[in-house]
Amino acid sequence: MIDTTVDVINKLGLHARASGKLIEVTTKFNSNIQIGKGEKLIDAKNIMALLMLGAGKGTTLRLVVDGPDEEQALSEVQALFAAKFYEAD
């Protein structure tokens, strides 16, 4: 199990389009992927739960990945956040 954090650095935060891109990444993996603030974690494969997080720019989110492909899942999720969800600034 991997328990780490990711920072929301894109201008609009974890809005609908960014959440959709995150879902595209997380649903490719067999691992259980959870994201949230502190102890409140949600399923990172659930679009409605992601939208309800209300994670704006500057938010630090806890990311917990557990499963057979956890390392690859973590790498791709971190890359997506680092690339600002491929949005123009």
Q: Which residues participate in catalysis according to the annotation?
A: 15
- The tokens 């739960």 sit on which residue? 49
Q: Are 29 and 72 in contact (CB under 8 A)?
A: yes
Q: Which residues contact 77 (CB under 8 A, 6 or more apart)?
A: 6, 22, 25, 26, 33, 44, 63, 65
